Amino acid sequence: MYYIGVDIGGTNISAGAVRKDGELLFKKSVKTGKERAYKEILADIIGIIRKVQSEAAKNPLHGGAVSIGLGCPGSCNKSTGAVEFSGNLNWHNVPLAADVQRETELPVFLENDASAAAYGEFIAGAAKGCNSAVVITLGTGVGSGIIINKKLFYGENYAGGEIGHTVISADGPPCTCGRKGCFEVFSSATGLIRMTKEVMARNPNSKMHRIASEMRKVSARTAFAAAKQGDKAGKSVVDEYIKYLACGITNVINTFQPDCLCIGGGVCNEGDYLLVPLRELIAREIYSRNSVKNTEILICRLGNDAGIIGAALVND
């Protein structure tokens, strides 16, 4: 027996067969083409689910599929199975779970993609064994999932846990949500790139220009790469980025005091160059700094597989 998890992203739709213990047996992927109509994307979701079933059927030991979990960006109503709004996909009140269930004849469950990824880390990743955890993903935006007493927190309307849209600078840059100075504006990869470009414009002799030219773009790696080469402008970007990231994470710890807080996303590939100063700042700022036990800051382990695993098992 296995569970099917589908992670619907703005770039790719990925699906896989997952065992009850969280082991991902295999996965398939297809481009999303998010500018397309809902019905076209739905057809690809159905198609990739059937590919997973076909692959699983090659090994009799896998057995049959128990259920399907769908991880989708946006406001997902678990009780109705509808995606009420997804800005990334331009969906409004689409009956995704019902449509998939009708075509596959399997029980289908809908979950927000960030919550699914958080649950994946809780089941099989960095947060495994924790009673409470917060998982924050630093990508195009800031995704987040909150687990309290081993259960996902949703809020009464299934829209809770939007940590990326808590404000850390009331007069900061505008956010896509309509507010100003959101955590996401400063701590997403998008925010890091924006800050990098702003500092580059003021420092024409910075090594960041050469690095960006070699990479053929300004990326979330640009400032870190320059800082490691002793570039002062690059280091100023890195320091500023870590300052805001620490501020947002400290707010989360002060609110929830979880066993662990896991961060994921490409910027986490910087390893200790990011993690050491981040931990130091948080340790100085958290309200519970004199406690015997404090929240452990960890790097997510599952990468892009977290959403598939979490979606597959969150309703088991």
For position 258, what pLDDT does the model report? 97
Would you give the DSSP letter of residue 203?
A: -
Would you give the DSSP letter of residue 218?
A: -
For position 292, what pLDDT does the model report? 78
C-alpha distances (whole Å) from 293 to each of 8, 257, 289, 296, 309 are 37, 10, 9, 9, 30
Residue 70: closest CA among 40, 104, 37: 104
Count helices and strands in the chain by DSSP H and E runs: 10, 13
For position 160, what pLDDT does the model report? 87
Task: Locate 168 and state its tokens.
Answer: 């850390």
For position 291, what pLDDT does the model report? 83
For position 177, what pLDDT does the model report? 87
Task: Locate 169 and state its tokens.
Answer: 């600078």
Structural domains in the chain plus CATH codes: 2-123+305-313 (3.30.420.40), 130-300 (3.30.420.40)
What element of type H or E holds 55?
A: helix 38-56
Model confidence pTM above 0.75: yes
For position 24, what pLDDT does the model report? 97
Q: What is the pLDDT along the chain (316 residues), one digit of tens a residue?
A: 999 999 998 889 999 999 999 999 999 999 999 999 999 999 999 999 999 999 999 998 889 999 999 999 888 999 999 999 888 899 999 999 999 999 999 999 999 999 999 999 999 999 999 999 999 999 888 999 999 999 999 888 888 889 999 999 999 999 988 999 999 999 999 999 999 999 999 999 999 999 999 999 999 999 999 999 999 999 999 999 999 999 999 999 999 999 999 999 999 999 999 999 999 999 999 998 888 789 999 999 999 999 999 999 998 7
Burial string for 121-142 (b: 16+ CB within 10 Å, else e) reads: bbbbbbbeebebbbbbbbbbbb
For position 2, what pLDDT does the model report? 97
Query: Alpha-carbon distance 296 to 309, whole Å?
Result: 23
